[in-house]
Amino acid sequence: MVTSRWTAAPAQAASLRRRGAVLERAILDAALEQLSTVGWNGLTMEGVAAGAQTGKAAVYRRWPSKEDLVADALQAGLPSFAEAPDLGSVREDLLALCRQARDAMFSRPGFAVRAVIHECDPIQAERFHSVIFDGIVEPTIELLREVIARGIERNEVRADAANSYVFDAIPAMMMYRSKMRGSEWGDRDIEEMIDQLMVPLLRPDGD
């Protein structure tokens, strides 16, 4: 009989006696792994339990539904956007920030987020909206605010560029092209977006 690694844990798993935070971390990691490989539709609580080498009951005791588990797994796995790049020019700062966002999008948590966005129905997606917005979109926009504000202080950026439409431009473009065109955002793609869209958009009048 052939078994999947998601449907049968190794025999020695029965001897594991992890509890508390260690076990919860293993379960959340297994959920992210499933999301990034088999997607939302393929993820099962049984598969997560097998991946974490624990029993299904241990998963259900902590998370009564697939939605609850995935929401916590995404929140725990999302990368930290702690500091805006400061490389001496708004162009270089935007390039560095976009590369950081690209790397997050194509990390294991990033693939998990995209599986949720692409595969969930609208009611399910609403469950994860705040996790994705608060964990990815808003931190990225906040760093963009810092980069643009610094550019205004250096007279590289026009004063009225600090507005929500400008802040939304990069996240919207990256998410749209990733979803609709399958773009993986190589370095050249990022440079073209910054040079052809953002630099002309931000440039002070007369420059």
Nearest one of 98, 129, 203, 124 to 159, comparing CA atoms: 203
CA 145 to CA 157: how far, in whole Å?
12
Query: pLDDT exceeding 70 applies to what percent of the chain?
Result: 90
- pLDDT-derived band at 79 (thresholds 50, 70, 90) equals confident
The DSSP code for 13 is G
Q: ∠ CA(85), CA(144), CA(94), 5° rounding?
A: 55
How much is the average pLDDT of 59-64?
96
How far are the Cα atoms of 28, 135, 165 from residue 22, in angstroms, in the given order? 10, 23, 43
How much is the average pLDDT of 101-121?
84
- Taking the CA atoms of residue 143, residue 148, residue 153 and residue 156 in that order, the dihedral angle to the nearest 10 degrees is 140
Q: Which CATH architecture has domain 11-76?
A: Orthogonal Bundle (1.10)
Backbone angles phi, psi at 72, to 5 degrees: -70, -35
More confident residue, 25 or 104: 25
Domain 79-202 indexed as CATH 3.40.395.10:
no
pLDDT of residue 17: 63
Fold: same for 11-76 and 79-202: yes
pLDDT of residue 49: 96
Q: Domain limits of the chain?
A: 11-76, 79-202
pLDDT digits (tens, 9 = 90+) for 4-20: 444 444 434 443 566 78
